Amino acid sequence: MGKVYAGLDDRLREFIARQPVFFVATAPSGGGHVNVSPKGYRDTLAILGPTTVAYLDLTGSGAETIAHLRQNGRITLMFCSFGASPKVLRLYGSGRVVLPADPEWGALAARFPAADGAGTARGNHRAIIVAEISRIADSCGYAVPVMDLVAERDLLTRWSERRSAEQLVAYRAEHNAVSIDGLPALD
């Protein structure tokens, strides 16, 4: 039987820290495509408080999460145990996008060991997503398979390291300006 929590206590924080991957779900208001994105890389998620989390949004092929958050702010993060003890934890709430030019970028980026504050490590971070959590709930996870992590992929890191800052800006302008539904994402 699932349980609802008032905040992220030590036990839940430890559970989150052990998960090598988590999933982010957003959707536009009024129809359009629901987006679910896997997120990985160690040290790219930070728990800022009992009901606040943030993660590094890395340069990628789409910008659905950013576009949806700018439109309506709704976000869900899901963590699944793939280890021997089954559990699924969902964090429901509202999110916002913090860009490198925003005044709070430096303080937030400092919370992530994978970032250097300027956003140049691990795939050139294009944003930090901050989520204020209004509901924290777990469920059994009995149908989630038991799997072993072999390794993190370094393809995105290697891809971004082969590009200059100007090339990454051009890539984002071409591929991340709007969502697949035509919503504005990155300017």
The dihedral of CA 163, 164, 165, 171: what is its sign?
negative
Domain containing 155 — which CATH number?
2.30.110.10
Q: Based on the structure, what is the number of domains in the chain?
A: 1
Q: What is the pLDDT of residue 122?
A: 44
Q: In this structure, is residue 36 part of a structural domain?
A: yes
Q: What is the pLDDT of residue 61?
A: 81
How large a percentage of the chain has pLDDT more than 70? 94
Q: In this structure, is residue 117 part of a structural domain?
A: yes
Q: In this structure, is residue 184 part of a structural domain?
A: no
Q: What is the pLDDT of residue 42?
A: 80
Q: In this structure, is residue 180 part of a structural domain?
A: no
Higher pLDDT, 35 or 41: 35
Confirm if 42 and 114 have CB atoms less than 8 A apart. yes
Rounded to an integer, what distance in angstroms lies between the CA atom of residue 178 and that of residue 186? Answer: 7
Q: In this structure, is residue 109 part of a structural domain?
A: yes
Res. 116: pLDDT tops 60: no
Q: In this structure, is residue 129 part of a structural domain?
A: yes
Give whole-number Cα distances, 97 to 89, 90, 145, in Å. 23, 20, 33
Residue range(s) defining the domain that contains residue 68: 4-175
Output the 3-class SS for 151-176: CCCCHHHHHHHCCCHHHHHHHHHHHC
Model confidence over 43-92: pLDDT tens digits?
Answer: 899 999 999 999 999 988 889 999 999 999 999 999 999 999 999 999 99
Confirm if 80 and 40 have CB atoms less than 8 A apart. no
Q: In this structure, is residue 186 part of a structural domain?
A: no
Q: What is the pLDDT of residue 114?
A: 64
Model confidence over 117-128: pLDDT tens digits?
Answer: 444 444 478 999
Q: In this structure, is residue 116 part of a structural domain?
A: yes
